[in-house]
Every structure is written in C-alpha cells, then in structure tokens.
C-alpha cells in the first residue's frame, strides 16, 4: 500500500472555507461515502478558539452551499461533535476515481486540510495527483510504501498506541521540557553527557527539583510502555 500525507487547499470544501473566515478547526472522526447521494457523511470534532468562534463557525458551516444534513451530537464549551454530510468535492472525486481512500482522520484549519491517503497500487498515485492538481493546490508532505501486514498491525494495536500517546500528553510542561533536555544533553547515555546538577544549573532550579521532574515524567511514560508490553504481540 502507498501511504501519503497531503496538505491541501480545496476551493469547494465547506470545512476549508469555514476555517478561512472563522477561528475554528475540524477533525474527521468517522466518515462514509454515500454512493447514491454522492456525498461524504461524517462525524466531526469542531474546535473553536472561543465559544463565540465556535458558534460563528458552526453557523457558517451549516449555511455553506456544499454542506447538508447537519446535526449537533454534543457540545462542551468551545468544542462540539457534529454529524453532517458534504457533497463530493473535486479532490474527493480525483482520489476515489483513481482507487484512493482515506486512511486516517482529516484535519482542516487555517484555510487548508491535511489528508492521509492510501492506494493499493503505486502506479495509481501519479494519476491521482495529476488529476488533483487541476483544481486544487497541494503539497505531498510524506509518502511511504507500507505492507498490509504493517498496516493491520497498527490497526490491531491502536488502543495500545493511544495509551502511550495519552501518557505523553499527560506530562506537565515542566516534565516534558526537563525530559527532552535530559535526552538531548546525553543524560541517559553512558557515560552521562549531562548530570542532574548540569540540568539544574541550566534550568536555574535545585537538583532536587530536576530529579523529581525527571522521575515523575519517567514514571508516567514507563507505566504506559510496560502496560504496552503486555498488549503487543511479538
């Protein structure tokens, strides 16, 4: 399978048009193509820079000429989950008609959209990108050949991967900066490139504070990694 990550500007996409005029972003949680209606039906996470921005963004999206079937599923503060449908855009058509398909969540913000796209055949990629170039502006940010075995391995272990990501996100800003700097300075190498005292001097805090930040951060990360060892099949 050929896997691409593409940053794209479409000129007929409700999500992109809305992010140009309003401080909101969209992340596709689930989608399905309705062949009979020729539209993509999705559940989408919408985030606003503020409550007012979210209100204005949702209103603009509902009124877009290429948007239908809006339904608000839940809302909390400046975030909402909606169920909606979008008519097939030229980019969607170019990808689908050349055997392509979405392999991950789409993300729209600040006037562009990031797609994760897969193709079963390598030769289909060039045809799809050539057709895509007719009516859209885009940049291929990455392209890789992935075996279906590797792809299914990721899918099978997605919950484990999420747990590790949640552990990373659970670090405080101080823990994150301390561990990143410790790694970069060679604290974990043998012999050490930087001691706790060196790090304390750099951060202008006590050695006790640095040591505690490192241990707390390590505990969070290692707990998730050790749990993952039990879940991942060798």
pLDDT at 121: 87
Is the predicted pLDDT of residue 17 greater than 90, yes or no? yes
The proportion of the chain whose per-residue pLDDT surpasses 90, expressed as a percent, equals 75
CA dist., res. 64 & res. 47, Å (int): 18
Q: How confident is the model at residue 234 (pLDDT cuts 50, 70, 90)?
A: low
Across residues 30-54, what is the average pLDDT? Answer: 92
Closest CA to 12 of 177, 157, 180, 136: 136
Task: Report pLDDT digits (tens) over 160-175.
Answer: 888 999 999 999 999 9
Q: Which residue has the higher pLDDT, 75 or 1?
A: 75
Q: How confident is the model at residue 53 (pLDDT cuts 50, 70, 90)?
A: very high
pLDDT at 223: 93
Q: Residue 192 contacts by C-beta under 8 Å, 6 or more apart in sequence? A: 186
CA dist., res. 41 & res. 83, Å (int): 7
* Mean of pLDDT over the chain: 92
Block residue for tokens 């992340």: 27
Please, what are the domains in the chain? 2-146 (no CATH), 157-231 (1.10.10.10)
Task: Report pLDDT digits (tens) over 68-110.
Answer: 889 999 999 999 999 999 998 999 999 999 999 988 889 999 9
Q: Residue 190 contacts by C-beta under 8 Å, 6 or more apart in sequence? A: none
pLDDT at 233: 64
pLDDT at 156: 82
Task: Report pLDDT digits (tens) over 127-182.
Answer: 999 999 999 999 999 988 877 777 778 778 888 888 999 999 999 999 999 999 99
DSSP strands (E only) in 51-201: 67-76, 79-87, 100-102, 107-109, 112-119, 137-145
Query: H or E segment at 165?
Result: helix 158-169
Closest CA to 129 of 162, 154, 100: 100
pLDDT at 181: 96
């Amino acid at each position: 399978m050929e896997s691409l990550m593409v940053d794209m500007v479409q000129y007929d996409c409700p999500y992109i048009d809305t992010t140009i005029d309003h401080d909101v972003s969209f992340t596709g949680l689930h989608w399905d193509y309705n062949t009979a209606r020729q539209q993509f039906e999705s559940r989408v996470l919408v985030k606003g820079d503020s409550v007012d921005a979210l209100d204005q963004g949702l209103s603009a999206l509902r009124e877009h000429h290429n948007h239908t079937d809006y339904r608000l599923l839940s809302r909390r503060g400046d975030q909402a989950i909606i169920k909606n449908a979008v008519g097939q855009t030229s980019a969607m058509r170019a990808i689908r008609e050349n055997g392509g398909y979405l392999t991950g969540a789409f993300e729209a913000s600040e006037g562009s959209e990031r797609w994760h796209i897969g193709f079963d055949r390598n030769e289909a990629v060039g045809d799809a990108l050539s057709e895509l170039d007719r009516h859209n502006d885009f940049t291929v940010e990455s392209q890789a050949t992935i075996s279906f075995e590797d792809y299914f391995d990721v899918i099978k272990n997605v919950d484990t991967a999420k747990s590790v990501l949640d552990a990373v996100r659970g670090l405080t800003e101080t823990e994150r900066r301390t561990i990143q700097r410790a790694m970069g300075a060679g604290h974990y190498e043998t012999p050490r490139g930087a001691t706790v005292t060196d790090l304390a001097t750099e951060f202008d805090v006590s050695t006790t504070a640095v040591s505690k930040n490192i241990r707390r951060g390590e505990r969070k990360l290692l707990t998730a990694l050790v749990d993952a060892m039990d879940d991942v099949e060798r």
